[in-house]
Amino acid sequence: MSHQFKPGDLALIVGAFRFVENIGKTCTLVQHLSKGDIYQLPDGRKAVTLAESGWLVEGDGIIGLACLLVDGDVVRVDDIGVANPRNLMPLRGDFEPEQQKAKEAEPCA
């Protein structure tokens, strides 16, 4: 299922490649990243995206890895990470199955 995420959306982490501890946590989507994109960590350091694509997400207790731009070191970061879109479920009303939306829209007789 493909979701039309945008920055600021809330999501539930429903899968993980590395940090399964993140599954079940809520996060805020910050920006969509592609391989080679540079982003800023909360402490001001800059990091480069190694994944093909994903969402930079923030949330309490989230564990991530960041490749620092300055020296290429890969470090653990807390409360921020890059998530594959397929591992995110939106927490807003527009992700219901289309059949359910249509059923709710039918007028009562």
Residue 57: is its pLDDT beyond 90? Answer: yes
Q: What's the pLDDT score for residue 92?
A: 82
Q: To the nearest whole percent, how much of the chain has pLDDT over 90?
A: 75
Cβ-in-10-Å burial (0-12, 13-18, 19+) of 28 comes to middle
- Give the residue extent of every domain in the chain: 10-105
Q: What's the pLDDT score for residue 93?
A: 62
Q: What's the pLDDT score for residue 1?
A: 46
Residue 97: is its pLDDT beyond 80? Answer: no
Question: Per-residue pLDDT averaged across 53-63, rounded?
Answer: 97
Q: What's the pLDDT score for residue 52?
A: 84
Residues whose CB falls within 8 Å of the CB of residue 45, separated by 6 or more in sequence, listed in order: 66, 68, 69, 70
Of residues 24 and 18, the one with the higher pLDDT is: 24
Q: How many CA atoms lie within 13 A of 10 on its CB side?
A: 7
Residue 101: is its pLDDT beyond 80? Answer: no
Q: What's the pLDDT score for residue 65?
A: 95
| Strand ranges in the chain using DSSP code E only, listed in sequence order | 10-13, 26-34, 38-40, 46-48, 53-68, 74-83, 88-90
Furthest CA-CA distance within the chain: 67
